[in-house]
Amino acid sequence: MTPTILRDQVDQALRDLEPELIRHRHHLHRNPELSNREIATAAYLAEQLRRFGVDEIRTDLAGHGVIGVIRGGKPGDKTIALRADMDALPVRETSGVSFASDREVEGPNGTSIPVAHACGHDCHMATVLIATKVLAMFRSELPGTVLCVFQPAEEGAPIGEQGGAQVMIDEGAFAGVEPTMVFGMHVSPLPSGTVAYRSGSQFAASTRVEVIIQGRQTHAAMPWLGIDPMPAAAGVIVGAAHLVRRIPVWQPATVTFGHVEDQGRFNIIGDRIRLEGTIRCAEDADMERLKTGLHDLAIGQAQSHDCSAEVRFDHEVPAVVNQTGWIESTLPTLRRLVGQERLLVSPPTLGYDDVSALIRRFGGLYVLYGAQDTRWVTDGSGAPTFEPIAGGRGLVPNHHPSFYANDEALRCGAAIHAHIALDHLYGLIDPSATPTIRVEAGS
């Protein structure tokens, strides 16, 4: 069978399996689990892989990760890894879909935490599952190996725990089946069925930050009898906004505090203040500079107000860097599937994705996939942006309680995974074989 005939047969199988694809998506969406708690999700995925008859199933990887291995029936030295993240978010869903999550899990001190797939990882799992099923059906025609990689804890392991892509690598999840290409996509508010890619930094480097300012408790009316940590904390928050001015403005970066915890009240100066936040930068090289700056700022502010400070950085994720060679060699496949008019350069983002660990280690590509009722707007200069379509469900960012992804977009998403797998195994996606052409913004 030629690659062209094989692709046609794969497409026909995907059309036949669209109802099953949607069923998987709805099941996973209705049953979301938080990072490092993806127990039922992992069991469901492993059960499907067993039904599909893949050659090997690896489970309990970095917690609840699952890898299915399909060994092709033709000789070949390529191994494609199709990666889907598994975890949901502590968000109360208000998307209004019939398969919305109403799940709650137990939180600290008897509280309950709502859980929802507000980042669309249910779509990632469902599309990779169906691509895997179809590739397993045609395994005798595959010149190489296919891995479906279901990765836990993309949204960040709970404080004090490890998890995610780097832990999978460190624990040897890929032993004996090292990918020669990793491919992944993230659903986004872009127009349904479009692919957006970026050469260089696709997603930012990220670090979680914790700053603890230690003072000494006293009466609010007698501050001189204690040490007030409040001015030092305020100085850190205000000063942090200026740190990014040390980075060239064309290299996006931000230092954001999203959580402040104080122990005082209106008439008590509390003992200490805890700040929690994140540093994001498009270029990995800027991270050390911002971390050092924030550390020195916190220590300096604490000293100048008689306090002491501790600064901790954890959950460090490198930037997702798409190498030009991988983009150039994958663009023909993407163009064939979605058409040139649905293939665009994405604007920069300071979001992160720990798929970066896999792509840095093994090579490959990560792109955005549109799944909402939006449309591109461009005036011909600079990167295009997008806006809601009149009468549609609107533009809703990932992590928002009303985030949604259209079911109708998913079959093409599964086709992209399946075709990229085929084209890589057949040697058609190979950066070392692609002449270098500069990829211009807007091309």
Catalytic positions are: 85, 155
Give the three-class secondary structure for 95. Answer: coil
Letters for 109-138 (x = contact with Zn ion by CB under 5 A, - = none) are ----------x-------------------
Beta carbons of 143 and 76 less than 8 angstroms apart = yes
- Report how far residue 180's alpha carbon sits from residue 395's, in angstroms, rounded to the nearest whole number: 36
CB 10, min distance to Zn ion, A? 26
Nearer to Zn ion, 119 or 297 (CB): 119
Position of tokens 């070392």?
432
As a residue count, the chain comes to 443
Shortest Cβ 137–Zn ion spacing (Å)? 29
Bridge partners (DSSP) listed for residue 205? 281
Residue 414 binds Zn ion, judged by CB under 5 A: no
Which string of b and e fits 92-111 if b means at least 16 CB within 10 Å? ebebeeebbbebeeeeeeee
Q: What angle do CA 314, 320, 325 make, to 5 degrees?
A: 155
Helical (H) or strand (E) element with 246: none
Could you give the angle at the alpha carbon of 384 between the alpha carbons of 382 and 386, nearest 5°? 150
Q: How far is the CB of 120 from Zn ion (least distance, A)?
A: 6
Binders of Zn ion among 254-293, rule CB under 5 A? none
In angstroms, the CA 139 to CA 117 distance is 32
- Residues from 61 through 120 that contact Zn ion (CB under 5 A): 119
Packing angle of the helix pair 410-425, 121-137 (nearest 10 deg) = 50
Q: Smaller CB distance to Zn ion: residue 169 or 405?
A: 405
Radius of gyration of the chain (CA): 24
What is the C-alpha separation between 306 and 304, in angstroms, rounded? 6
Q: Say if strands 320-322 and 200-203 run parallel, antiparallel, or are unpaired.
A: antiparallel
- Least distance in angstroms from the C-beta of 353 to Zn ion: 7
Closest CA to 413 of 346, 336, 356, 337: 337
Report the 10 Å Cβ neighbour count for 246.
12
Name, in order, each residue with C-beta under 8 angstroms of 205's C-beta and a sequence gap of 6 or more.
Answer: 280, 281, 282, 283, 284, 286, 287, 316, 317, 318, 319, 352, 356
Q: Look-up: residue for tokens 């508010």?
A: 189
| Residue 78 beta carbon to Zn ion: minimum distance, rounded to whole angstroms | 27
Residue sitting closest to Zn ion (CB): 119
DSSP assignment of 54-67, as one string? Answer: -SEEEEEETTTEEE
Contacting positions for Zn ion (CB under 5 A): 119
